[in-house]
Amino acid sequence: MEDTFEIDILELSALVKMVREKYHFDLKEYALSSLSRRIKRILEMFNLSSIKLLANKIENDPVLFEKFLNEITVNTTEMFRDPLVWKHLRENVFPELAKLPEIRIWHSACSTGEEVYSMAIALREAGLDKKATLFASDINNDVIANAKAGKFPLRTMDHSLANYQKSGGTKKFADYYTAKGIDAYFDLSLIQNVTFKKFDLILGRQMEQFDLILCRNVLIYFNLPLQDQIIEKFAHCQNENAFLMTGARETIIWCKSADYYDVFSQDFKIFQRNQKQ
C-alpha cells in the first residue's frame, strides 16, 4: 500500500524543529500537503515506519540529511513547459532584452535543467546567446549534476518536441541532442555561458543584478510569508524594467513585495520591475 498511516502532525513538527535547529533549514514554510506527501515517500524509500524514526536517523547523519533534503526539494519539469509562455518570451520579452548590451538571466530553481536548456535553445535561435550569461541554481545538488550532464530520457523527447514547436521553434529539434541508449544527450555548447551553483533561495545571500529571473513552479511549495520573502529578494537584485517570470498558475499579487513589480503579461505571469526602492 502506498501509505497505511496518517502523517502524525506532532512528529512532523518535531522533525521540522530539529531540522531547523540542527541544519538551519526551515521546512515550516512549506505547503503542508506537499510536504506531508514527500515525507511519506521518503519514509517508504528509507523503509521507516514513523517520522520520529526518520528524525532520529537524520539528526545524527548529515549524509542522510542531504538525501532527505534532495527528496524534499526535487521538482519535476519538462522542456519548454507551458510552450505558449515560451512563445510569449520569444516574441515579447526577447526584443526588450535584445536592446541591452549584455543579458543576465537567473534560473532560480533550475531543477534537472530542462528550463535552462530550453532557454539556451531559445536564446540561440534569437541570436542572443553570445551576449547572454545564465546563472542556474538549485538547493539540490543531485539535480544540478543532472543539469550539467544535459542528459534527459529519450522517451520524453516526443513531448519536448511538441512543446518546442508550440513555443515557436522552427529548427529541427533533434539536432540539439544525440540519442544514445535510453537517453538524449544535449549539445553541451548550449550551456557554455551557464554557471551552475547550489543555492538556497530562502537562506541564500543577496545575488547580483539580473535582467530576467525565472522562478517557475517553485513558489507553489511555499506558504505566503515565504513567497513574499523570496519575491522581495528578487526585487533587490533587479533594476527597473527587468523581468520576473513565475509559473503559469502562480501569482505574486497576494504578496506585499508585489509592489516592486508591474504586470507585463497577466496571462503568462511575467512581471516587470518598477521604480520602487
Residues from 18 through 57 that contact other proteins (CB under 8 A):
31-34, 37-38
Which of 38, 34, 16 is closest to 26 using CA atoms?
Answer: 16
Q: Of residues 56, 70, 75, 92, which one binds other proteins by CB under 8 A?
A: 75
What DSSP line would sit under 128-192, residue for residue? -GGGEEEEEEES-HHHHHHHHHTEEEGGGHHHHHHHHHHTT--S-GGGGEEEETTEEEE-GGGGT
Residues from 220 through 249 that contact other proteins (CB under 8 A):
220-221, 223-224, 227, 247-249
Does 156 interact with other proteins (rule: CB under 8 A)?
A: no
Does 158 interact with other proteins (rule: CB under 8 A)?
A: no
Are residues 149 and 194 in contact, defined by beta-carbon separation less than 8 angstroms?
Answer: no
Does 251 interact with other proteins (rule: CB under 8 A)?
A: yes
Does 265 interact with other proteins (rule: CB under 8 A)?
A: no
Q: Of residues 51, 54, 110, 219, which one binds other proteins by CB under 8 A?
A: 219
Does 263 interact with other proteins (rule: CB under 8 A)?
A: no
Does 8 interact with other proteins (rule: CB under 8 A)?
A: no
Q: Which grid coordinates are listed for 182? A: 535510453
Helix and strand element counts for the chain (H, E): 10, 10
Q: Of residues 56, 70, 77, 165, which one binds other proteins by CB under 8 A?
A: 77
Are residues 23 and 65 in contact, defined by beta-carbon separation less than 8 angstroms?
Answer: yes
Q: Which residues would be at the binding site for other proteins (CB under 8 A)?
A: 2, 31-34, 37-38, 75-77, 217, 219-221, 223-224, 227, 247-251, 254
